[in-house]
Amino acid sequence: MPTVIHTHLYSFAQTAGGAGSPTAAGGARHVPTILELMVQATIPVKIVVAILVIFSIASWYIIGYKYLYLRGASVQTERFLKAFYETKQLNVAAEVAAKLPKSPVSQIFRAGYEELRRLRAGNEAGEDSGGIENVERALRRATSSEMITIESMLPFLATTGSTAPFIGLFGTVYGIMHAFLQLSGSQEQSTIDRVGPGIAEALFTTAIGLVAAIPAVMAYNFFVRRIRVLSNEMDGFGNDFLNIVRRHILK
């Protein structure tokens, strides 16, 4: 009896590990890498991946640039506001503002201060150069100009965050459609080995789209909050500057 059991176990082992096993017959199957999938991908899928890679690189450049720019603007704005409210002389504040060009608040002050100097020079010469309304308009123009500069490049992040997933989805849909069309036109047996690489390269475009979109959306929301803080500081400073001009200079 033990001899019979041993014979059956030996026969089962030969069947499981012998010529019927794909691994034993042909060795371990090769799993294609992402690079190999992209090399074998269709031209439309390659174009989609190239577009998404360009979007991602440009987004990261903008993220780094805007982070450094807004950080410098915030630091210089704090320095200028501290100097402005501590000093009693506008000419001293103007000298400080000239040394802090990245601060949007300092640039607003310089625009208002230059307009104020022009008005005072005109009044001393007996000319009708206008009144406080001119200073207010100068502050509004400077505020608009600074906001345009601060908000530059942000639309690209918003565009990347909203369109990159759909661009990747287009590549996925096309890749899957192409893989099944190839499978339907083939005379060989339909197996996952034949359709798998095509589906994998198609799904890869969706992943690239998400990789491009997620950082862009997160950075956009972060920068919008920082810009809102700077905008509030600009509005508050403009009102304070106008009050100082009304009370002490242009009465």
- Is the residue at 232 inside a domain? yes
pLDDT per residue as tens digits for the range 102-144: 999 999 999 999 988 888 877 666 665 667 888 899 999 999 9
Distance of CA 176 to the CA centre of its chain: 29
Distance of CA 179 to the CA centre of its chain: 33
Q: Is the pLDDT confidence value at 12 over 50?
A: no
Number of domains in the chain: 1
pLDDT per residue as tens digits for the range 166-209: 999 998 888 888 777 776 655 555 555 566 666 777 788 889 99
Q: Is the pLDDT confidence value at 86 over 60?
A: yes
- Is the residue at 26 inside a domain? no
pTM: 0.77
Closest to 77 (Cα-Cα) out of 100, 94, 58, 49: 100
Interatomic CA distance for residues 156 and 63, integer angstroms:
11
In which band, very low, low, confident or very high, does the pLDDT at 156 lie, cut at 50, 70 and 90?
Answer: very high
- Is the residue at 10 inside a domain? no
Position of tokens 């089962």? Answer: 12
- Is the residue at 210 inside a domain? yes
- Is the residue at 237 inside a domain? yes
Query: What DSSP letter does each residue of 144-203 carry, written as one string?
Result: HHHHHHHTTTHHHHHHHHHHHHHHHHHHHHHHHHHHHHHHHT-SS---HHHHHHHHHHHH
Structure tokens at 118: 């022009």
Interatomic CA distance for residues 136 and 235, integer angstroms:
12
Q: What is the 3-state secondary structure (H, E, C) of 44-74?
A: HHHHHHHHHHHHHHHHHHHHHHHHHHHHHHH
Q: What is the pLDDT of residue 193?
A: 58
Domain residues for the domain of 184 are 33-97+105-249
- Is the residue at 1 inside a domain? no
- Is the residue at 4 inside a domain? no
- Is the residue at 27 inside a domain? no
Structure tokens at 114: 């230059």
Q: What is the pLDDT of residue 117?
A: 87
Q: What is the pLDDT of residue 97?
A: 94
